[in-house]
Amino acid sequence: MIDINKAIEALNWDKEPRGLYEPIEYTLASGGKRLRPTLALTAAELIVNGGLINGDAIDQALPAALALEVFHNFTLLHDDVMDRAAVRRGRETVHVKWNDNTAILSGDQMLIEAYKLLSDVPADKLPKVLKWFNEMATGICEGQQLDVDFEHASQVSIEDYMHMIELKTSVLLAYAMRIGGYIAGANEAQQEALYQYGLHIGLAFQIQDDILDVYGDPKTFGKAIGGDICCNKKTILLITALETADAESKAELLQWMMKQCTKEDVQSTKEKIEGVTAIYDRLGVRKACEDIMEQQTSLALAQLDRLPQNNATERLRELAEKLATRKS
Instruction: Tell me whether residue 24 is exposed, middle or buried, using C-beta atoms within 10 angstroms of its C-beta: 0 to 12, 13 to 18, 19 or more.
Output: buried
Is the CB of residue 110 less than 8 Å from the CB of residue 77?
Answer: yes
pLDDT tens string, the chain, 328 residues long: the values are: 689 999 999 999 999 999 999 999 999 999 888 999 999 999 999 999 875 545 688 999 999 999 999 999 999 999 999 988 888 988 999 999 999 999 999 999 999 999 999 999 999 999 999 999 999 999 999 999 999 999 899 899 999 999 999 999 999 999 999 999 999 999 999 999 999 999 999 999 999 999 999 999 887 776 778 989 998 999 999 999 999 999 999 999 999 999 988 877 889 999 999 999 999 999 999 999 999 999 999 999 999 999 999 999 999 999 999 988 887 7
CATH of the domain at 248: 1.10.600.10
Asked, for residue 100, whether it belongs to a domain, the answer is yes
Residue ranges of E strands in the chain: 87-88, 91-92
Q: Report the predicted TM-score, pTM, of the whole model to 2 decimal places.
A: 0.93
Is the CB of residue 43 less than 8 Å from the CB of residue 35?
Answer: no
CA angle 326, 216, 272 (to 5 degrees): 155
Asked, for residue 155, whether it belongs to a domain, the answer is yes
- CA–chain centroid gap for 298, Å, is 19
Rg, C-alpha atoms of the chain: 20
Asked, for residue 314, whether it belongs to a domain, the answer is yes
Asked, for residue 2, whether it belongs to a domain, the answer is no
Which residue type is seen at 131? K
Asked, for residue 10, whether it belongs to a domain, the answer is no
**Count of structural domains within the chain:** 1
